[in-house]
A and B are shown apart, each in its own frame.
Chain A
């Protein structure tokens, strides 16, 4: 059974309760765009930030992980705009 937007959001929030999560799934396509903004990402490089999200998703997305386009941000990096 494939995973849906809400499940992705829930899994991420479970591990990163301070995160804002935006999930877009393109209809007719299994691809997801996920953006996660969290203060927990402060001081970490992108690889480390993405690894935190992958860890949150765990085995649930093992098959679908290739369909995931991930962007991570810290709240401070957004305030500029």
Chain B
């Protein structure tokens, strides 16, 4: 399956998806570590995709989002941001309401 289709399916069939380097248990990059730590701190359930395991996904996710870096957080199919944006939203109490399913 082409990477774009794989990515599209992942973000549309899971509510919160984090494309990261490494895993939440063993992050391979400080920025990925920060975002997964924030999600864990907020007790948010999420699917973590380790881009280091798949070069096509690693490049494909940058094309998909028109965004040059990883980590990338998706909520309800929408690209929310990378580490800088997620931290800013967390600091401004904007992140938690976004992660909480409505209703």
Contact = CB atoms under 8 A, between A and B. Distances in A.
Nearest to B68: A65
Given A46-B85, A47-B85, A50-B85, A66 B69 contact: yes
Contacts of B88: 46, 71
Contacts of B66: 51
Contacts of A69: 84
A66 B80 CA distance: 18
Contact of B67 (A54, A62, A71): A54
Contacts of A47: 65, 67, 79-81, 85
DSSP majority for the A interface? helix
Contact of B84 (A51, A62, A71): A71
Interface in B66-95: 66-69, 79-82, 84-85, 88-89
A36 to B, nearest CB: 12
Interface string B29-69: 00000000000000000000000000000000000011111
Interface of A: 46-47, 50-51, 54, 62, 65-66, 69-71
Interface of B: 65-69, 79-82, 84-85, 88-89
